[in-house]
């Protein structure tokens, strides 16, 4: 309120109508910038125009479990904070970081998407993917998981999810790593993931 009064006092030389319009513009501007936080609960709609390779980091909600003791059922009930960065910083700590995103198939065809965690340094990456009965299966990845237990064949962890026409699913990713590093997430179609991997192999000289 003090800030608002100070702002109005600086506009004292203006007409009453002009001051009122200026204040309304200020409130509308603040509401506009707050919108990304308010609409986090909306789902990411997949349409025929959705890129086959889409940076997804800014679409995720984030929750930091500083105790690393919360169960998955408990995590599903907590409030997630909207991510607003293209890269995720995992600090040197024993904390567990949870990420959440909602995908909706807005087409009339079944859609398969691949969610990839873009880092080879993370010690543990667990994907929580719902099945047709809305029960979650856990797919484990990361440097601490034996290679014979991995469900992916590349260096960077990924998982796939199938969506029936107009179906909506909520995915969770659990990150735990005591090695500080940056990571990000990308959503692919199966074909675009293969193309991306072939391009990476080519750059590596294979």
CA distances for 150 relative to 59, 110, 147, 162, 204, angstroms: 26, 26, 5, 19, 23
From CA 136, how far away is CA 132, in angstroms rounded? 9
- Write the pLDDT tens digit of every residue in 101-152: 999 999 999 999 999 999 988 999 999 999 888 899 999 988 888 877 777 7
- The per-type count for the chain, helices as H runs and strands as E runs, is 4, 13
Rounded mean pLDDT, 150-158: 79
Q: Is 179 helix (H, G, I), strand (E, B) or coil?
A: coil
Q: Is 29 exposed, middle or buried (0-12, 13-18, 19+ CB in 10 A)?
A: exposed
pLDDT in tens, 87-101: 888 888 899 999 999
């Amino acid at each position: 309120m003090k800030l608002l009064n100070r702002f109005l006092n600086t506009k004292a030389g203006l007409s009453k109508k002009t001051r009122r319009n200026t204040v309304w513009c200020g409130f509308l501007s603040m509401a506009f910038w707050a919108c990304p936080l308010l609409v986090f609960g909306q789902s990411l709609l997949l349409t025929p125009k959705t890129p086959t390779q889409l940076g997804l980091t800014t679409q995720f909600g984030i929750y930091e479990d500083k105790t690393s003791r919360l169960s998955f059922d408990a995590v599903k009930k907590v409030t997630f904070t909207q991510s607003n960065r293209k890269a995720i910083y995992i600090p040197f700590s024993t904390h567990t970081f949870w990420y959440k995103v909602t995908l909706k198939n807005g087409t009339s065809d079944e859609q398969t998407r691949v969610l990839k965690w873009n880092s080879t340094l993370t010690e543990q990456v667990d994907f929580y993917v719902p099945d047709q009965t809305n029960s979650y299966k856990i797919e484990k990845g990361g440097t601490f998981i034996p290679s014979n237990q991995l469900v992916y064949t590349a260096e960077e962890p990924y998982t796939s999810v199938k969506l029936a026409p107009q179906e909506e699913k909520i995915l969770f990713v659990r990150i735990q790593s005591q090695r500080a590093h940056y990571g990000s997430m990308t959503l692919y179609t199966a074909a675009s993931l293969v193309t991306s991997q072939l391009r990476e192999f080519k750059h590596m000289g294979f």
